[in-house]
Structures are given as structure tokens and as C-alpha cells.
Structure 1
Amino acid sequence: MTNYTHILVSLDLSDESQQVLDRAVTLAKANNAKLSLVHVVEPLTFAYGGDIPVDLTDIQEQLQTQATEQLATLAKPHNIPADAQNIQVGQPVAEIHDLADQLGADLIVVGSHGRKGLALLLGSTANGVLHGAKRDVLAVRVQD
């Protein structure tokens, strides 16, 4: 089995993110691998389809600032440097794949809630990352 050299951890900044990060930190230590974090902020125009005649720039910037702060809070106990903390704006699956390519990551770690029924049919970020990946993906089952 090949050792991983660079692990990209995708975090949704929910309460369960710590579980995902803990698993990734353990893997990084076991493999002596570099660890990078990513959180993707979806543009508000995606959610509203541009139908709202309001400038959402300030709100989008606030969301990005909050995400940056939350990611830094998660990274601090593990001494993950600021340059390994990535906030991307866009469609999560595409942004995660693109960043993994840019960084040369050989493993992507994502959280999975193990959804069933309609949620499973509609898909999830973890499912999208898994099915479009050019590298290994570890889906960490989180406890709600």
C-alpha cells in the first residue's frame, strides 16, 4: 500500500467537521503527509438564481470571512498553517477536485452522513467528490 503524501480535507464547517478533521489528522501523522483544508462557499447567486434585485456582495464577503475564521479555529489545535487553509467560492464538488489537482493531493477526505432515501437520490457533496475523483477518497462516517 502506498503512503499518502498530501491529504486534502473538505470541511463543511458543521458541528461534525471536527470528526472528519480528527480522522484526517490521524492519517496525515501515520503517513507523514502534508495536510490541507478546504471549505467551499457557494455563491448566493447559485441559491437564488440571480432573481433577487439586490447586491449580495457584502453578504457574500461576510460568509467568506466567517468561513475563514471557522476554518482557522478548527486548524489551530492541529498547527495547520494559514497557507494550508483554503476558502473557495463556487460549486463544492468542482472546487474540491480543482484544488486537489492544484495541490497535488493524493487523498481527499470528506464527511458523510450516510443519508438514505430521497437525500441519497439527490446526491451529496461527498458522493459527487467520490464519483468524480482522480485520486483516493475517504468518506468519514460522522455521528450526528
Structure 2
Amino acid sequence: MLNYQNILLTIDFSGHDLFVAQKAQALAEQFHATLHILHVLDNIPMPDTPYGTVIPLSEDSAYELLENEKNKLVQISDQLNIAPSRRWLIWGEPQQEITQLAIQQQIDLIIVGSHDRHGLAVLMGSTAKDVLYHAECDVLAVHIKKPG
């Protein structure tokens, strides 16, 4: 059986991150793997900063939206005991940034949450599907069911 060494947990701050994170943490423990975490900023405008697309979590920013996103990532990472050197906050298109980081960090399993899609969302696709088709490593889509 394949033994994963580096697992990348992707989070979108949808409210289901803890459910997906617990599954990622359990797999990391089972395989004695290193857990990494990534949030891609695709829904807030990018301020004019010297950071480029990778946002250092140790830097302070006057940009309130960015600080809120950084704080959320730090909070989840702290709960999972993920070292700061394995936390990633990147501006860009999620599928592209996830697959590029996976290559750079020698990730062998990407974990994404997969939401139910209806209507136009089915036709337009999802990040989980796009990552599955473009990743060079295994991808685990954790199905997130709506309550009810």
C-alpha cells in the first residue's frame, strides 16, 4: 500500500473546513505524514503589495480583508498543530495554485472539500474537480453534505 509522506489540506473557509481538516489530520497520523495547509485567495481583490502571490503570514498588512484571511488560516493551522513553515496563503486561481504548490512541496496527496453542486454550478465545475483532473498526485475529495 502506498504510504503518503506529504499531505496538502486545502481550505476555503466555507464553514466545513473543520470537518475536512479532521479527516486530513487522521490520514496524516495514519500514514505518519507531514500535513500542509493552503488557502487560495480568489474572492477578494489583491491590494498593491510587495508580497507577490504568496502572502507571508508573519507580515502585518494594513489591508483588513487580508488580515482576516490570514487570521482564519492561522487559527485552523494552530488547531491542527501545523507548523508555520507548512502554511500557505496564496492569491490566484485555486486549481492552478493548488496543483503548483503540490509540485513545489512534493505533495503526494491533496485533500479538498467537495460541495454538492446544483444548477449552473454543475456546468461551471468546481475546484475539487479541476484539481482532480490537473494534479500530478492523488486527490481525495471529502464529500460535504448539506444538513437536512
Secondary structure of the residue aligned to 2:9 is: strand
The aligned counterpart of 1:51 is: none
The aligned counterpart of 1:44 is: 45
How far did 1:75 drift?
1.4
Would the aligned equivalents of 1:16 and 1:143 in 2 still touch at CA under 8 Å?
Answer: no
Segments of structure 1 that go 5 or more residues without pairing to the other structure are 46-55
Structure with more of its chain in helix, by fraction: 1
Secondary structure of the residue aligned to 2:67 is: helix
Normalised by the size of structure 2, how large is the TM-score? 0.83
Cα 1:105–1:117, aligned 2, differ >3 Å: closer, same or farther? same
In the alignment, the residues of structure 2 paired with residue 8 and residue 84 of structure 1 have an alpha-carbon distance, to the nearest angstrom, of: 9
How far did 1:60 drift?
9.6
The aligned counterpart of 1:81 is: 83
How well do the aligned residues superpose, as a CA RMSD in angstroms?
A: 2.0
Map of 1:1-144 to 2, 5 A cutoff?
1-42=1-42, 44=45, 56-57=47-48, 61-144=63-146
How far did 1:5 drift?
0.2
How far did 1:100 drift?
0.4
Cα 1:91–1:60, aligned 2, differ >3 Å: closer, same or farther? farther
Normalised by the size of structure 1, how large is the TM-score? 0.85
Identity %: 37
In the alignment, the residues of structure 2 paired with residue 122 and residue 28 of structure 1 have an alpha-carbon distance, to the nearest angstrom, of: 32
Would the aligned equivalents of 1:64 and 1:87 in 2 still touch at CA under 8 Å?
Answer: no
In the alignment, the residues of structure 2 paired with residue 3 and residue 63 of structure 1 have an alpha-carbon distance, to the nearest angstrom, of: 38
Aligned residues: 134
